[in-house]
Amino acid sequence: MLNKNNERELSYLVKIDSIEPIEGKDRVECARVGGWTIMVRKGQFKPGDIGIYFEIDSKVPETEPFDFLASKHYKIKTQRYKVDDGHFYSQGLLMHPADFNWKLTTEPSDDVAIVDNYGEAHRLDDESRFLTKTLGVVYAVSEDNKRKARSVDKYTKMIQRNHELFTHMPYKWLIKREWGKKLLFKFYGRVSDKWGWPEWVTKTDEERVENMSWILTNKEPWVATEKIDGTSTTFTMKRGKFGKYEYFVCSRNVCFDTPEKKNMDLKYFDSNVYLEMSEKYHMEEKLSQILDGYPQFDWVTIQAETYGKGVQKNTYGLDERRIAAFNLVTSDRGRWGSGEMKVFLDKYAIPTVPILSYYYELPDTIDELRKFVRSEKSKINNKLKEGVVFRSLDGVQSFKCVDPEYLAKYN
């Protein structure tokens, strides 16, 4: 689930929507939370209960409440179980607050809250529901944790730049309050350019349909594109002073604008794949051509997925690396629709994600949506595809549906 900063949370409070039997299983049952199905012990939960959900791709700390996960190296993945009517996919982990000796309370109001061992209250309807940091949950893949560590909010950056100052009062007191953080930022925070991230670029991350199942009631047509299993890559250019163009290449969290940053991803790949793709597809030249041809653009951004050799697990079996653009964003209109994006970028020989349907009507259930996701093989290698990203025709709304079978096989 994404928080208000568009960052993925790995653990959070949820309400149990329903409890259903699993065919052929007597000791366990299915708990439904939004669009997620999770295998739980029989009688552990009932509808309406509050639980603590841990997303797939996460890793919990090696502490007593999680001892039962030791054989799985404390990692949480999609699990596939054979049942009488085929397969049951359990996605994530659901635990009871009592497993952590946390208490349920309605004091001092009727607003139900979970109180942790530090006396902090957590509620379903605000940001306190997120427990990723409270419980010490991290990504299961260490590479993702290292990259995430580089991505911090503006207030954290402010503290890092002024570390000594924020060890004293009243700064320690002010930084704990929302209004205090904003006040301090007016005096100590306005140096973000030194951190290199282009302020006009929004970082990419799609919400999963399981966390927003209500979207299925929207029967307007959607564009369905194949989700590519790779690493997010951003190319952006802005008009600068004296007619010069400023060009940047970024990963999901890092802008490679200095020599030391250009070398920082060599520990993950055999080269900096982001800069490699920039050169391979002549992106600086092409973005310059776009700005030359469209004077109404103050800046243009292309966000793509880099995939293939040495990226993720290279499930496509390629002996090279490629890109597939999934976002075109311009200063005059924001994010373009996928259909318009493809027509525009085709003129510059910039590859885009495969479009599966230009006018797809969402079904009534997530199970039906998953059937559509699995109905065709990947356009890249004619094998099982990771999933589908759905965008409104104007490009404003979007979400993804990842195939549980793909996650069970490759993750």
Tokens of 146: 């290292």
Domain of residue 176 covers 152-195
Cα–Cα distance for residue pair 116/201, rounded to 1 Å: 37
- Asked if 170 and 191 sit in the same domain, the reply is yes
pTM of the model: 0.78
Q: How far is CA 136 from CA 13, 58, 212, 367, in A?
A: 15, 10, 25, 32
- Asked if 329 and 385 sit in the same domain, the reply is yes
Nearest to 357 by CA among 405, 401, 321: 401
- Asked if 178 and 278 sit in the same domain, the reply is no
CATH number at residue 336: 3.30.470.30
pLDDT, residue 130, reads: 93
- Asked if 135 and 156 sit in the same domain, the reply is no
- Asked if 71 and 126 sit in the same domain, the reply is yes
pLDDT, residue 404, reads: 92
DSSP type of residue 310: T
Which amino acid is present at 96?
H
pLDDT, residue 60, reads: 93
pLDDT, residue 313, reads: 85
Nearest to 366 by CA among 383, 395, 382, 387: 387
Cα–Cα distance for residue pair 177/167, rounded to 1 Å: 16
Give the phi and the psi of residue 328 in degrees, each rounded to 5.
-120, 120
| Segment holding 390, helix H or strand E | strand 387-392
Cα–Cα distance for residue pair 182/385, rounded to 1 Å: 44
Q: How far is CA 358 from CA 355, 373, 391, in A?
A: 7, 15, 10
- Find out whether 21 and 29 touch, Cβ atoms under 8 Å: yes
Whether residue 268 lies inside any domain: the answer is: yes
Q: How far is CA 9 from CA 22, 64, 99, 261, 388, in A?
A: 28, 22, 20, 26, 21
- Find out whether 29 and 23 touch, Cβ atoms under 8 Å: no
- Asked if 226 and 179 sit in the same domain, the reply is no
Whether residue 2 lies inside any domain: the answer is: no
- Find out whether 236 and 287 touch, Cβ atoms under 8 Å: yes
- Asked if 166 and 129 sit in the same domain, the reply is no
Whether residue 200 lies inside any domain: the answer is: no
pLDDT, residue 193, reads: 41
Cα–Cα distance for residue pair 344/207, rounded to 1 Å: 26
- Asked if 133 and 156 sit in the same domain, the reply is no
Whether residue 144 lies inside any domain: the answer is: no
Cα–Cα distance for residue pair 108/159, rounded to 1 Å: 34
- Asked if 269 and 341 sit in the same domain, the reply is yes
Q: Which residues pair with 76 in a beta bridge?
A: 58
Long-range contacts of 141-148 (CB under 8 A, 24+ apart): 141/57, 143/268, 144/57, 147/251, 147/252, 147/253, 147/254, 148/253
Which amino acid is present at 160?
Q
- Asked if 185 and 286 sit in the same domain, the reply is no
The dihedral through the CA atoms of 360, 305, 33, 409 has a sign that is positive
Cα–Cα distance for residue pair 289/270, rounded to 1 Å: 30
Whether residue 159 lies inside any domain: the answer is: yes
Q: What is the mean pLDDT of each run of 10 residues along the chain (411 residues)?
A: 85 94 90 94 93 94 92 92 85 94 71 83 89 90 53 63 74 82 76 62 87 94 96 94 90 78 59 91 97 96 95 91 97 94 97 97 95 95 95 93 91 74
Last residue of a domain, one of 139, 166, 186: 139
Cα–Cα distance for residue pair 349/310, rounded to 1 Å: 24
- Asked if 366 and 229 sit in the same domain, the reply is yes
Whether residue 326 lies inside any domain: the answer is: yes
- Asked if 176 and 113 sit in the same domain, the reply is no
CA end-to-end span of the chain, whole Å? 18
pLDDT, residue 111, reads: 67
Whether residue 47 lies inside any domain: the answer is: yes
Nearest to 74 by CA among 50, 98, 97, 58: 58
pLDDT, residue 151, reads: 47
Count of the separate structural domains present in the chain: 3
pLDDT tens by residue, 317-356: 999 999 999 999 999 999 999 999 999 999 999 999 999 9
- Find out whether 290 and 336 touch, Cβ atoms under 8 Å: no
Whether residue 4 lies inside any domain: the answer is: no
pLDDT tens by residue, 196-228: 678 899 877 789 999 999 999 999 999 999 999
